[in-house]
Chains A and B, each alone.
Chain A
Amino acid sequence: MADWQIDLIKVVFIWVWVLLIAVIMTWVERRASAMMQDRLGPNRAGPFGLLQPLADGIKLFTKEDIIPERARKILFILGPPLFAFPVFSAFAVVPFGDKIVIGGKEIILQVSDVSIGFLYVLALSAIAVFGMVIGGWASNSKYSILGGLRATAQLISYEVPMGLALLTIVLLYGTFSLREIVLQQQGTFLGFLPNWGFFKQPLGFLIFLVAAYAEANRVPFDLPECESELVTGYHTEYGSMRLGLYLFGEYVNLVTLAAITVSLYFGGWGLPYVDMSKYLGPVAYGIASFLVFTLKQAFFLFLFVWVRWTVPRFRYDQLMGLGWKALIPLGLINLFVTALLVQLTI
C-alpha cells in the first residue's frame, strides 16, 4: 500500500470512529443521567435503547427546517457548519495508539504527527467559537445574542488558564507533539508511580480539566446555553439538522477533549507497569494500545457526564471570578514552580 492510501484509511477510520463514539455518548448521557436521577431513560428503541440516537437523527433530519423571518439568512445557515467542521477535524493530531505492523510496514496510529501538536487543537477550538457567535448573532433574538456573548467571554477567559496549564506540559516534555509527550510518559516515576503527567502536574491537570469543561460548554459552565435563563442560548432559534449539528458538534468536542486529557496527563496508550510490546505480537500490540487508549478515554467521557448531572450551574459572575481570580493566578504559580523545578533538575 502506498503512503497516501494508509493516510486515507487512517483519516476515514478516525472520522467514523469519533462520530461513532459521539453518537454513543448521546445515548450514554441520557441513560446515565436517568440512572443518577432514579429514572429509566430511553430504553425502547433497540436493546437497552441503543438505537435511540438513530431515532433522534431521523427525527432531526425529517423535521421542518425553519429560518426565522428577521434572521440574517446566510449567516444563520453558515453558523452550524462553522462550529462543526473545526470540531470534527481536531482529532487529527491525537495519537490513538502506538504503532501497528501490517505487511512489514510500520504504521503510526495517528493521522498526523505534526511538530505543532496540540496547538492545532487549540487553534481549531478557537475557530469553532465563531460558529456559536455567528449563530447567536444571526438569529436576531435577545436570548441568542446573550448566549453568543457569553460564549465569547467564556472562551477568552478560560483559554488563558488552559494555555498556562499546557505551557507547563511543554516545559516538562520539551515538545508540542502529542505522540512524543505520550512516549515520554511510559515507565515509572519515583520508582512506584506510573510516569504520567498527572503525577508530575496534579495542579496543572486540575486547571486543565476545569478549563476544558468550560471550553466544552458543559454544566457547570454551560452559561452560553443556560436553559433556565436563555431558553437554550445561542441555538434558541435553531431547529432540525442545524440544531443537530450544534448538539452533535459538542459531543465530538468532548471526545477530542477526553483524548487530549488522556494523551497529556494519563500516558496515552500505555499501560502502567506493563510494557505490552514485550508480550504481544506487532499486530496485537497495535490493537491493544488502541483499546487501552479508548478505555482511558471512555473514563473521561463518563466523567463529563458524571459532573454534568451532579454539579449545579455557576452564576455568571462566579464563572468569571473562578476564571480570572482563581484559575489564572493558580496557573501562573504552577508555571513558576514548574519552571524552577525543571531548571533545578536539568
Chain B
Amino acid sequence: MDYYFLLFAIMAVGAGIFTITVKDALPSALGLLTVFIALAALYLHLHAPLIAIFQVSIYAGAILVLVVFVIMLLITPDEALETAQKNISYRAMGAILGVYLIALLIIGLKGINQLVAQKSLPEGFGKPSQIGDLFFRKYILHFEISSVLLLVALVAAIYLAKKRA
C-alpha cells in the first residue's frame, strides 16, 4: 500500500468535496487551494517536480489569487453563497460538465490493464530540460496551437477593455 499516495489522494478528494459543498465563498477557494497543493504533492511523488511547482505557482499562485480577488471584491464575510448555489442554470451547467468529465475519466481508464509499472526511471526524468525538450520537439504543434489560443484570448481581453473605456 502506498501511504503517501493514499494520504494526498484522500486529501485532494476530501478538499474537493469541501470546495463544492461549503456555503461560504472564501473557504471554498481555500478548499480548492488544498486540492491544488495535494495534487502538487502527488506530482512530486511521481518524480515530476517541475509539474508540481507549476501546479502550485500557476494554479494556486495566479489563477486562484485572481478568484480570491474577485471574491474579496464582491462578497463580504457576512454573505453566503446559497443564492448562487440554488441557481438552477448553474446546477445544469455543473451537471453537464460533471458528466463530461466522468466520461473522459472512464475513457482514460480503458487502457489501465495494459499498464506496466516501470521499475527504474529513464535518465533525467522530470527535469526541466527534458520537459522543454519534449515541448519543442515532440509536442511542438500542441505548444504552438496553445500559444495561438492564448494570443486570441489576449486580443479579446484588450478589445473588451477598449470598448468599456
Contacts and interface: CB of A to CB of B under 8 A. Distances in A.
Interface string A58-72: 000000000000111
- Which of B37, B57, B71, B126 has the most chain A CB atoms closer than 10 A to its own CB? B57
B12 interface: no
A75 B27 contact: yes
A152 B66 CA distance: 8
A119 B44 CA distance: 14
Contacts of A120: 53
Interface in B24-54: 24, 26-27, 30, 33, 37, 49-50, 53-54
Nearest to B56: A123
Nearest to A71: B77
Closest 6 CB pairs of A and B: A126-B61, A123-B56, A123-B57, A152-B69, A140-B77, A119-B53
A123 B53 contact: yes
Contact of B77 (A72, A119, A152, A174): A72
Given A115-B126, A145-B72, A145-B76, 8 more contacts: A114-B49, A115-B50, A115-B128, A123-B61, A130-B30, A130-B60, A130-B64, A152-B72
B72 A133 contact: yes
Contacts of B68: 130, 133, 152
Contacts of A156: 62, 65-66, 69
Nearest to A124: B56
Interface in A121-150: 122-123, 126-127, 129-130, 133-134, 136-138, 140, 145, 148-149
9 contacts: A119-B57, A122-B57, A126-B62, A130-B30, A137-B72, A140-B78, A148-B72, A152-B72, A174-B129
B128 to A, nearest CB: 6
B76 A134 contact: no
A41 to B, nearest CB: 37
B127 interface: yes
Contacts of A193: none
A203 interface: no
Nearest to B67: A152
A145 B77 CA distance: 10
B26 A149 contact: no
A201 to B, nearest CB: 20
Contacts of A75: 26-27, 30
Nearest to A139: B77
A116 B128 contact: yes
Provide the main secondary structure of the chain A interface: helix
Contact of A155 (B26, B53, B56, B65): B65
Provide the main secondary structure of the chain B interface: helix
Contacts of A138: 26, 77
Contacts of B61: 122-123, 126-127, 129, 159
Contact of B49 (A71, A115, A126): A115
A211 to B, nearest CB: 14
A134 B71 CA distance: 11
A120 B56 CA distance: 9
A66 B126 CA distance: 47
B69 A116 contact: no
A344 B19 CA distance: 50
A130 B65 CA distance: 8
A248 interface: no
Contact of B76 (A115, A133, A140): A140
Contacts of B1: none
A176 interface: yes
A75 B25 CA distance: 12
Contacts of B64: 130
B26 A134 contact: yes
B73 interface: yes
B73 A149 contact: yes
Nearest to A149: B72
A153 B49 contact: no
A116 B27 contact: no
Nearest to B40: A123
Contacts of B73: 149
B60 A137 contact: no
Interface in A74-132: 75, 114-116, 119-120, 122-123, 126-127, 129-130
A122 B54 CA distance: 10
Nearest to B130: A115
Interface string B99-131: 000000000000000000000000000111100
A55 B150 CA distance: 54
- Which of B37, B54, B128 has the most chain A CB atoms closer than 10 A to its own CB? B128
